[in-house]
Structure 1
């Protein structure tokens, strides 16, 4: 081995050793689903690794799953207050707090989570500066359209009357109430217990999460139609973001884009949709596909939610007609309008 080769090898070893040293910026990211959930393996982990690579190892993100650092409904405030640097937040867990964003939760708006994520990001990014001004908005992560899963058949809106239902978020809770049901409002990690103990008769969930959270033995009837989204977010503590060096801010900015919202959401969307076929193949579940007339019954039943949303947005001094038009335009632009 000649001197040049030895010198090159030594330089390579030196650079590798340097890269292995502790990162200059250590960030803590908290979420509330199990560490085995595809949100972590197919969304959060690849995103965090991409940031590490793009920053040449300067930024390291440590992930705390399963409500280790705080309860699911508290994650917005955890980011705001600096309890964590980055939080995975479901705005719908806090009724009425984010009235503009709640349009994303109304049934029959978006058909899918992939292009839908990009559309939601494009639409909400300028709005977040006011509605979520005490955090730094980064990404939107909806799940594949969810539906109703129940112990006994729920095929049309009238079947909800008298049932106790775990809703995905505040908007779905309002919908359940409008249909004569009662809401059992618990976050996703507590949904199985509510069903198993008989506190709830049914729930709104995406398909494969029924398996992920071990609820497949509790609910055997499923409304087979894309129904609603629950659109989570990644949010930064403002002081954390503002304290980054310019080159590190640039890396974060490059990972907080509409394109990254779509990329972040794709793996989970595919995983969730796979649960539907798994139920069919098992032979243990009954999927009911509504007729066109029954779908229209559901759509008509959901219309008051849109009317209520417009009233709520008006109360905070915003223009619901313009906001809704922009929302629909973003969905159409990204081929995700229902």
Structure 2
């Protein structure tokens, strides 16, 4: 009887623990840099958050903090999630130069096509090449934005117009590209662009169309330069990630909810909403009567030729650090081609 009673008590305790694991509720804090009306927080993070809440039957709640509301600067978001200060972050990978070298491949000039296609390629590439660099994070999606452009106070109609221009760049590689094109790069996170333009700290900025509305860029400058062909000048890379410690604390069924809302299709969704945002940003500039410049094929080729040495220099730099950089470049190009329709 005593043995039976012990077994019954153990079974009851196990049952209680199992029941508790399936009724556990958790509130996660998501921190990111942009104002809430910007494309990613409004059209990607919010729908993702709502779907996770619904898929979990309300057992996962997510509080979204926009525009660095919890403090710190955009480059500190990676440390905030690694140190378990917050549970989720979305950020620009290039804001922490040198920390994620394998991701820089996708920022090289004239590699990217569309935001969606490049995001799918980037996520697939990172699952193979970048996991160790993101230790401490449960990555939900790696992704990229649509074609980067030059938004300037004075028209940029040819390569020579870049000479001496103070242009904001968003990462180490993009700044190197701007320098190769003759400009004077000024590194800063994207939330600082509006003030820098209005105060004359910079003459121009490199960003995609989708973020121009939230930064009022089309009101601050009147010239916008894009390029011919299927490849954009550059893209910037992003990570949407959860603290590994926060993920590990979840019961298995809630981990499964996060897993089901992670991966290449989530990356594609983020890239797709950025492509859609590009159309909206372009329309605002057109409605304002701004000067929309598309360089023809011959002029675009001059820019490609000017930027090409950066690719070889990057391969040499990364190879010296022990990375198989030539293979990384080839793989990135092949994956972008694979995921770009009719390419």
> Which TM-score applies when normalising by structure 1?
0.88
Q: CA deviation at 1:96?
A: 2.4
Task: Please identify, of 97-106 and 128-137, the stretch whose mean Cα deviation from structure 2 is larger.
Answer: 128-137
Q: CA deviation at 1:286?
A: 0.8
Q: Distance in 2 between matches of 1:135 and 1:247?
A: 19
Does residue 272 of structure 1 match 2:278?
yes
2:334 is matched with 329
Task: Provide, for residues 203-237 of structure 1, a one-character-per-residue CA deviation record: whole Å limited to 9, x for no partner.
Answer: 10111422221122221111132322112110111
SS at the partner of 1:222? strand
1:42 is matched with 43
Alignment of 1:285-296 (within 5 A): 285-296=290-301
Which structure 1 residue ranges, 5 or more long, are not aligned? 1-21
Q: Is the 8 A contact 1:99 1:309 kept in 2?
A: no
Alignment of 1:134-153 (within 5 A): 134-153=136-155
2:8 is matched with none
Alignment of 1:71-90 (within 5 A): 71-90=73-92
Q: C-alpha root-mean-square deviation of aligned residues, in Å?
A: 1.9
1:61 is matched with 62
Q: Distance in 2 between matches of 1:310 and 1:255?
A: 34
Q: Distance in 1 between matches of 2:185 and 2:166?
A: 6
Task: Provide, for residues 108-156 of structure 1, a one-character-per-residue CA deviation record: whole Å limited to 9, x for no partner.
Answer: 1121011221111111112222222232222123222120010111223
2:206 is matched with 204
With over 3 angstroms needed to count, the CA separation of the structure-2 counterparts of 1:336 and 1:128, relative to structure 1, is: farther
2:9 is matched with none
With over 3 angstroms needed to count, the CA separation of the structure-2 counterparts of 1:315 and 1:210, relative to structure 1, is: same
1:18 is matched with none
Does residue 51 of structure 1 match 2:52?
yes
Q: Is the 8 A contact 1:331 1:337 kept in 2?
A: no
Q: Is the 8 A contact 2:126 2:142 kept in 1?
A: no
SS at the partner of 2:105? helix
SS at the partner of 1:100? helix
Q: Distance in 2 between matches of 1:105 and 1:184?
A: 17
Task: Provide, for residues 2-61 of structure 1, a one-character-per-residue CA deviation record: whole Å limited to 9, x for no partner.
Answer: xxxxxxxxxxxxxxxxxxxx9701111100000111211110011111111111211111
SS at the partner of 1:180? coil
> Which TM-score applies when normalising by structure 2?
0.87
Q: Give aligned pairs, total.
A: 316
Q: Distance in 2 between matches of 1:235 and 1:312?
A: 28
Alignment of 1:104-143 (within 5 A): 104-143=106-145
Task: Please identify, of 133-142 and 31-40, the stretch whose mean Cα deviation from structure 2 is larger.
Answer: 133-142
Q: Is the 8 A contact 2:165 2:184 kept in 1?
A: yes
Deviating runs (4+, > 4 A) in structure 1? none
Task: Provide, for residues 230-261 of structure 1, a one-character-per-residue CA deviation record: whole Å limited to 9, x for no partner.
Answer: 12110111111122211111111111110111
Q: CA deviation at 1:164?
A: 0.8
Q: Distance in 2 between matches of 1:115 and 1:308?
A: 26
1:183 is matched with 185
Q: CA deviation at 1:75?
A: 1.0
